[in-house]
Amino acid sequence: MQYLYNVAMTCAGCSTAIGKVLKRRDDVSDVQFDMEQQTVTVTSNASKDEILDTIKKTGKKVTGEGVVV
C-alpha cells in the first residue's frame, strides 16, 4: 500500500529524520518526500496508523491521516 501524509518539514534535516525512522522498519519499501507540498509518501505493508505513529516519533507535526494513494 502507498500512504500519503502531510508533515510539517522546514528543512532537509526534517526529511532525513523521517526517512531514517521509516527505513528502519522492515515493512517499508519506499519513502518519497515533497518538501514544497509538505508531503511524505510511504510504500509499506504496515497499516497507515503504524506508519503514522512512526512518523510522530520524530516530533514532526503530522496533519494527514495517511490517505491511501
Stated pTM of the model:
0.90
pLDDT of residue 65: 72
Residue 17: per-residue pLDDT: 95
**Which residues have CB under 8 Å from 8's CB, separation 6+?**
14, 38, 60, 61, 62, 63
Write down all domains in the chain, each with its CATH number in brackets: 2-68 (3.30.70.100)
Instruction: Return per-residue pLDDT of the chain as tens, 69 residues.
Output: 999 999 999 899 999 999 999 999 999 999 999 999 999 999 999 999 999 999 999 999 998 777 776
